[in-house]
């Protein structure tokens, strides 16, 4: 089920609108909302987890520090994996057809892959960088420049 564009082409664009992972997450949430899922407890669980996936991802994009972004992206990935577990349970119990299970799960695989790459990029962005040579004294790195240079 295709989801309409989140923002019209002529509208102002938010950072989140540029991410494929966001669009695929919204598409998954739309598909889940159309499924007839019983029991009600699992329906509620997958509704909450799919919404959490989208909302946590959006919150992570709004964070400034790489560590904060990685944290929120990891939580969104956890919600995606929770959705996958609910789908697997429903399929195993016969409450979800094979084609519906495959379609929804394929979207989640893409979401998890993209979130994993985003998390890795944030870790690289926050990796410590070597201090400039002018800051080095006797093998120790200080926070002040060397007055001799």
Candidates 118, 14, 23; CA nearest to 75 is: 118
| Residue 146 clears pLDDT 60, i.e. is over it | no
pLDDT at position 69: 95
From the number of C-beta atoms within 10 Å of its C-beta (0-12, 13-18, 19+), residue 129 rates as: exposed
* CA gap 115, 109 in Å, rounded: 10
Pick from 4-18, 34-48, 69-83, 105-119: least confident: 4-18
Pick from 7-11, 72-76, 88-92, 110-114: least confident: 7-11
**What pLDDT digit, counting tens, does each position of 12-36 carry?**
899 999 999 999 999 999 999 998 8
pLDDT at position 82: 98
Domain 15-125: CATH architecture, name and number where available? Up-down Bundle (1.20)
Map out the domains of the chain as residue ranges. 15-125
């Amino acid at each position: 089920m295709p989801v309409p564009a989140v923002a019209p082409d002529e509208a102002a664009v938010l950072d989140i609108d540029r991410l494929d992972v966001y669009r695929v997450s919204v598409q998954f949430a739309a598909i889940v909302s159309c499924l007839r899922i019983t029991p009600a407890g699992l329906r509620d669980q997958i509704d909450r987890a799919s919404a959490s996936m989208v909302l946590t991802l959006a919150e992570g994009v709004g964070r400034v520090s790489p560590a904060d972004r990685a944290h929120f992206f990891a939580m969104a990935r956890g919600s995606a994996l929770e959705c996958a577990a609910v789908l697997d349970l429903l399929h195993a119990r016969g409450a979800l057809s094979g084609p519906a299970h495959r379609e929804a799960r394929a979207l989640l695989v893409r979401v998890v892959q993209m979130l994993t790459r985003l998390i890795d990029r944030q870790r690289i962005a926050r990796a410590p960088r070597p201090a400039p040579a002018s800051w080095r004294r006797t093998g120790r790195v200080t926070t002040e420049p060397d007055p001799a240079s």
